[in-house]
Amino acid sequence: MASNRNKVQRISTGSDSLDRLLHGGVETHAITEFYGPSGAGKTQLCHTLTVNAILNKLQLNKKLDNVVYMDTEAKFRPERLISIAQARGFDLDSDLRTSWLSNVLCVKAMTAHQQELILEKRLVPLLNTQDENETQNKIVLLVVDSVIHNYRAEFLGQSTLPERQQKLYRFMNQLSCIAQEYGIAVVVTNQVNNSCKNNTMNNSRPTGGNIMNHTSTYRISLKRLAGSSRTIARIVKSAYHKESEAYFLLTEKGIEDIPGLC
Amino acid sequence: MATGKAKINTEPDSYKNAQDNEDSAVSDEDRSIIDASDLELKDIEGIGPTTAKKLKEAGIISVLELAVTSADQLAIDIGCSKDTAATYIMESQRLLRRSNVLENEFVSASSLLEKRKSMLRCSTGSKSLDELLIGGIETQAVTEFYGEFGSGKSQICHTLCAIAKQPISDGGLDGGVIYIDTEGTFRPERLNQIARARGFNPMSVLKNVAICKVYNSSHLELIIKDLGKYINAFNAKLIIIDSIISLHRAEYLGRSTLADRQQRLNAILHKLIRLAEIFNIAVVITNQVQSSPDMFFGDPTKATGGNIIAHTSTYRIYLRKSGENRIAKMIDSPYHPYSDIRFTVNEKGTDDIEETPKSKNKK
């Protein structure tokens, strides 16, 4: 078991303090969930992770990996990937300038049903062919931004809640199998809702209830501090990380350390 | 146009192959782009004349509309099981993919970048506001403006109405506008004035805008449900909803109805974002504000609609008054920098602030 753990790779998030929080970055063989209110930096984090997962290999002179980006909120922007890569100063010569983008496979899921089918009927066969075929680029990161969007819009009212949660559980369980079987880092984002049951302020909770809490391996809450561009990341659930916090900035580079606070 | 349809009918096998190759994520550049309006419901696999008739009776007349319907709604509308409805929707999307209207399921970011070039931008009339939005309001996305009364939300909407008619080279969308007015603030005479001040032909601008006054929240939900039909009828490139929240805010009172209200709002927004993507149109919504009493420092105004609207709108811009001028601030976006700019409202609608020594302080 311990030797299996040695196979775990880590993908840098782009911020040293956040990497330190995660013991080096987002892990393969696990699901890492980032949740937070709108504007907290979830999508920016996903974009930065995508760039890092592919281009950090460039510096090691290794073959580039592939990233699968499942976009449910229509917020994937390839031009943003380019601007992050440029701002982070990756040495891209003319033919690599935009050609590395072909290592990002983007898939749009417009309904919850489609989201499930893509995973089951498209992604798993794709991963199987990759296992047989050594020459193909390996998929190292799967981003789902966000996992809840379609479910939240399609299943209305209390009566459909059990069905929604069951489907969500199945989807998350499949992600978990994929992560472990193929050694992929799975990153999912999640939205928040406000519970009005208690009267305390700032009671926003991640959506998806217990299902999401149980199925994600690591859970990180993101929150943008009022009146500043700082985001605070806090580990909420993990098997071995300390419950601690990290701060980072949202900039041209995607996400970045706060200068002078390290 | 006829060739497009003939191609689908005569060469089903070649398209099947293309479908099989989808896993390889290679986009077939050679496939000709077929106008989506040429596709008919009966071209979809598994839909015969009877189902097509049922769909048409339910108000779904094109493949594009079917592709953005939710399975639940469809199951109720045509009286079939939810799984069958889901299959119809999947098949319609597959047909669109084969006809190159939608991307393949797995598509590389580089070809997506190429595809994003089909995206249009509609100028807002103010250069600095365009700068904030990197060129203007995008199609394939939902742009939300929120702010206090008088912060310029409706003025931006009116100006967009006038500009959307203009040719693409002049910053317009060269298409119609559907203006869904929930607050009763649309004024044709104001649009006339803006068009005149900008040197457009006022009559052609006014003819180009389809106004829909909405009186209650169920009416709004109904309109949004049938929006696909109206988009085709008016050749609309821009949909404005001013404002998205007012009816729901007025009708759903108290905490006990909050969950229901938020879910209904979410369903509307979800439909809007899918329509924007599939029809390649721009959707602009406005939102009101509330003040949060728990804030002890900083600006206490918050957008209404809570997390639902915050998560769903692609771009979020906060407008606020600053004397005679207005300040627009990017609050949430997948790729715009979070910065702020100043603009003004005059007889041309939204406009740049004239160069005075004072405005040199701007950011």
Q: What is the pLDDT along chain A (262 residues), one digit of tens a residue?
A: 777 778 888 999 989 999 999 999 999 999 999 999 988 899 999 999 999 998 888 877 778 889 999 999 989 999 999 899 989 888 777 667 778 888 899 998 888 888 998 898 888 888 888 777 666 778 999 999 989 999 988 888 888 899 999 999 999 999 999 999 888 999 999 999 876 665 555 567 899 889 998 999 999 999 988 777 789 999 998 888 888 899 999 888 888 888 876 5
Q: Does A70 touch chain B (CB under 8 A)?
A: no
**pLDDT, tens digit (0-9, with 9 covering 90-100), for B160-180:** 999 999 998 888 899 999 999
ipTM: 0.72
Say how far residue A243 (Cα) sits from the centre of its chain: 20
Residue A73 and residue B273: Cβ atoms within 8 Å?
Answer: yes
Q: Does A137 touch chain B (CB under 8 A)?
A: no
> Average pLDDT over chain B, rounded to whole?
82
Distance separating alpha carbons of residues B305 and A21, to the nearest angstrom: 33
Strand ranges (E), A12-171: 26-27, 30-35, 66-71, 104-108, 139-145
Give the chain B residue nearest A109 (alpha carbons). B105
Question: Region B241-268: what's the mean pLDDT?
Answer: 90
Q: Are A50 and B334 in contact (CB under 8 A)?
A: no
Chain B neighbors of A192, CB-CB under 8 A: 307, 311
Q: Does A118 touch chain B (CB under 8 A)?
A: yes
Chain A neighbors of B94, CB-CB under 8 A: none
pLDDT(B2) > 50: no
Chain A neighbors of B263, CB-CB under 8 A: 156-157
**pLDDT, tens digit (0-9, with 9 covering 90-100), for B261-295:** 998 999 899 999 989 988 889 999 999 998 877 66
Terminal-residue alpha carbon distance, chain A: 34
Distance separating alpha carbons of residues B99 and A147, to the nearest angstrom: 28
Please name the member of A118, A154, A192 whose beta carbon is closest to the beta carbon of B72: A154
Longest dimension (CA), chain A: 57
Q: Are A231 and A225 in contact (CB under 8 A)?
A: yes
Residue B107 and residue A73: Cβ atoms within 8 Å?
Answer: no
Distance separating alpha carbons of residues B144 and A89, to the nearest angstrom: 33
Confidence of residue B32 (pLDDT cuts 50, 70, 90): very low
- Minimal Cα–Cα distance from B332 to chain A, Å? 5
Distance separating alpha carbons of residues B79 and B85, to the nearest angstrom: 9
Residue A37 and residue B307: Cβ atoms within 8 Å?
Answer: yes
- Minimal Cα–Cα distance from B311 to chain A, Å? 5
Q: Which residues contact B195 (CB under 8 A, 6 or more apart)?
A: B162, B201, B202, B205, B206
Which ranges of A133-252 does DSSP label H, i.e. alpha helix? Answer: 149-154, 161-182, 209-215
Single-letter amino acid code for the residue at A127: L
Backbone angles phi, psi at B226, to 5 degrees: -95, 10
Q: Is the omega angle on the peptide bond into residue A3 within 30 degrees of 0, that is, cis?
A: no
Q: Give the A:B interface size as CB pairs under 8 Å.
A: 160
Strand ranges (E), A4-137: 10-11, 26-27, 30-35, 66-71, 104-108
Q: Are A75 and B314 in contact (CB under 8 A)?
A: yes
pLDDT(B360) > 70: no
Confidence of residue B23 (pLDDT cuts 50, 70, 90): very low
pTM here is 0.80
Q: Give me the pLDDT at residue B211, please.
A: 93
